[in-house]
Amino acid sequence: MNDLPESDLTFLRGLVKASRQKPHRVDWVDRDGSERATVLSPAEAVQLNKIAHGLKVSKAEVLHRAAHIPAKPGAGA
């Protein structure tokens, strides 16, 4: 493994670290009415909590609202 580039080693360390942390699941309803579940890392959960607290809504409501944000031009397939 030591013969891998540092960027690959950093990536692999991150994967191992993330797998050792407890994931956070948020159930929410997509803009088309379908039920979704998003699994967040602890860092993502903290960020989502901050956003939800600032908007004074639930985490599920933040994700529901985010589903209505248009994609950036040129993004995706």
Number of folded domains that form the chain: 1
Global pTM reads 0.72
53 domain residue, yes or no:
yes
**Measured between alpha carbons, how far is 74 from 32 in angstroms, rounded to an integer?**
23
Residue 8 lies in a domain: no
Find the angle CA(61)-CA(63)-CA(66) to the nearest 5 degrees.
110
pLDDT by residue (tens digit) across 51-66? Answer: 999 999 999 999 999 9
4: Cβ contacts below 8 Å, ≥ 6 apart:
12
Q: Is residue 59 part of a domain?
A: yes
The predicted-structure confidence for 38-53, as pLDDT tens digits, reads as follows 999 888 999 999 999 9
Residue 40 counted as domain residue: yes
- For residue 37, list its beta bridge partners: 27
Task: Tell me how far the alpha carbon of residue 62 is from its chain's centroid.
Answer: 12
Q: What domain range is 37 assigned to?
A: 19-66
